[in-house]
Amino acid sequence: MTPISDKWLSLSILALCQVAAMALWFSASAVLPSLITDYNLSSFQQALFTSSVQVGFVAGSLSSAMFGLADRLPPKLFFLSSAIIAAIANAILLIVEPTDAIVPLLRFITGICMAGIYPVGMRMAATWAKGDMGLLVGILVGALTLGSASPHLFNAIGGIDWRFTIAAASACAIFSAIGILFFKMGPAYTKAPKFHPLHILSAWKIKSVRLANLGYLGHMWELYAMWAWIGIFLTASFSLSMSNDRANELAKLATFGTMAAGAIGCFAAGYMADKLGRTTLTIIAMLISGSCALSVGFLFGASPLWLTLLCILWGISIIADSAQFSASVAELSPPEIVGTMLTLQTSIGFTLTLITIHLMPYAVDLLSWHYAFAPLAIGPFFGVWAMIKLRQHPDAQKLANGKK
């Protein structure tokens, strides 16, 4: 088999495994509408279904960054063990009550394991990069997007039984653990030198890396709050013009469409960023997604078709830039600590998401669904500023073969 064939076969395997494993992230969040109806969950309990995973991911990724695990451990083994443990933790949800105090702990464990899947997957993809870093990482983030959206599809297929979604997500994660054994590391894979904890300071000390991370923080301020609450928003909106049962079913499909469409944005943006430049692509994407955050509430209760179309546009633009922040950090960081820098980037980004995920119920109470998403626009507009500053920095010549 030629090196090119090896590359795309390995990347296809990695993408499929990433899709399958990431189904765990939103497996419980996807069934929230059913759980709210059956168990009368409070707003805080609802937020915990997603935020516990975020906290776990932050804890796992910070630990990984502190000890350089993404650069020191065999990536396939790290990925495999993480997927299996996460699948088991998720499956235990089938035998406990959704209101049980152990549920946030199980979701926390799932989040810890995600730190051995998402950033490690990007590290594995980067071993095959040769002038196409944006595309390769875009494929991986597109896979993450499809994986995160898949529970909403499982939920729609499974009907009213939320257990189907949980079981399907765990089964997918086991499949990913087996599949990753067939991935072949690329020619750029090298063992990292002895790790020093001070390496993590490079994320702040190197100005260009700092600006890329600030852009990423702006992006993350918006992303997971939207993903976590868009299903509830659509259900509430559709319920104003049709029966509750009909609204629930259509909202599940619309939510899947909104999130899954982001994969298109990742693939297309990954290709275009290598041609047009990282900062150009991220600025355009954040301007669109921020505008959607400001305007989506004005269609609350309006035509489900027009609202869904706007949400799909939001879903495409809100994730299109994500891979390019990671690609930027990979290109701007010293090669021997790329894995650690990627892990640290995701950990600080997901720490920020805890704020907006938990603020959304209060925003709904204070502002109503008509304006609740508007504060999320602060993030992408801040990100635009950071990427404009990065574009002006001399290190920007390292991005996308000098295309900035």
Each residue of 351-386: pLDDT tens digit?
898 889 889 989 999 999 999 999 999 999 999 999
In a domain, 288, yes or no: yes
Q: What is residue 85's predicted lDDT score, i.e. its pLDDT?
A: 96
Residue 171 confidence (pLDDT) = 94
Q: Which helix (H) or strand (E) holds 389?
A: helix 378-391
Q: What is the pLDDT of residues 53-110, one digit of tens each?
A: 888 988 998 888 777 777 778 889 999 999 999 999 999 999 998 888 899 999 999 9
Res 193: pLDDT = 55
- Specify the length of the chain in residues: 404
**Domains: count for the chain:** 1
Rg of the chain in Å (alpha carbons): 20
- Domain extent at residue 76: 3-185+195-402
Of all helices (H) and strands (E), which one includes residue 398?
Answer: none
Q: Is the pLDDT of residue 295 over 80?
A: yes
Distance from C-alpha of 222 to C-alpha of 372, rounded to nearest angstrom? 12
Q: Please name the residue that has the structure tokens 């920020």.
A: 352
Please give the mean pLDDT across all residues of the chain.
86
Tokens representing residue 93 in the block = 């949800």
The answer to whether position 190 is within a domain reads: no
Average pLDDT value for residue range 124-145? 80
Residue 70: give its domain's CATH number: 1.20.1250.20
pLDDT at 47: 77
Q: Which ranges in 40-132 belong to alpha helices (H)?
A: 43-67, 69-72, 75-91, 102-114, 118-126
3 pLDDT band (50/70/90 cuts)? low
Run of H or E including 396: none
Q: Residue 162 above 90 pLDDT?
A: no
Looking at residue 117, the DSSP 8-state letter turns out to be T
Residue 284 has pLDDT above 90, yes or no: yes
**Strand intervals (E) in 141-233:** none
Query: Would you place residue 159 in the very low, low, confident or very high pLDDT band (cuts 50, 70, 90)?
Result: low
Measured over the CA atoms of residue 359, residue 361, residue 363 and residue 366, the dihedral's sign is negative
- Cα angle for residues 338, 339, 345 (degrees, 5° grid): 85
| pLDDT score, position 34 | 78
- Predicted confidence at residue 153, as pLDDT, reads 76
Q: Token match 């997971």: residue? A: 224
